[in-house]
Amino acid sequence: MSFNEGTATSETIAAMLDTNPVVVRRIMGALREGGYVSSERGPNGGWRLERPLREITFLNIYRAFDPGSPFTIATSDDHPKCVVERAANRALSLALSEAAARFEQSLSKITLDQLLPRKT
């Protein structure tokens, strides 16, 4: 699977990342749902990329995990009749929405092939 060739087991990937194979299977399962990898069982099985690295963006990966908002800042509804609270909530919601859009736009410009070492 390295550099878009062949397959790699969860154990192999886990060893490369210094993590547990269960964690790898959970992550790869989400990527499989997104159509970015496939898995094959058996003695020659493992995970395989389903698209060229140049076609997979950080945004694709990010969205494969259904993250919701990238921000943990929340609006307040302690005093729903308060004019200031409502105005602050509108302003905060707009700012967070714009920031999330810019964040996703940035992620969409980075493809996995850009992470590979360049031959010189």
Predicted local confidence at residue 3, as pLDDT:
47
10-26 per-position pLDDT tens digit: 999 999 999 999 999 99
Q: In the CATH hierarchy, which top-level class contains the domain 1-50?
A: mainly alpha
- Domain map of the chain by residue range? 1-50, 56-120
Predicted local confidence at residue 5, as pLDDT:
65
The Cβ of residue 8 has, within 10 Å, a number of other Cβ atoms equal to: 20
Intervals of the chain under pLDDT 50:
2-4
Predicted local confidence at residue 2, as pLDDT:
46
pTM: 0.76
Backbone angles phi, psi at 111, to 5 degrees: -105, 155
SS (H, E, C) 16-81: HHCCCHHHHHHHHHHHHHCCCEEEECCCCCEEEECCCHHHCEHHHHHHHCCCCCCCCCCCCCCCCC
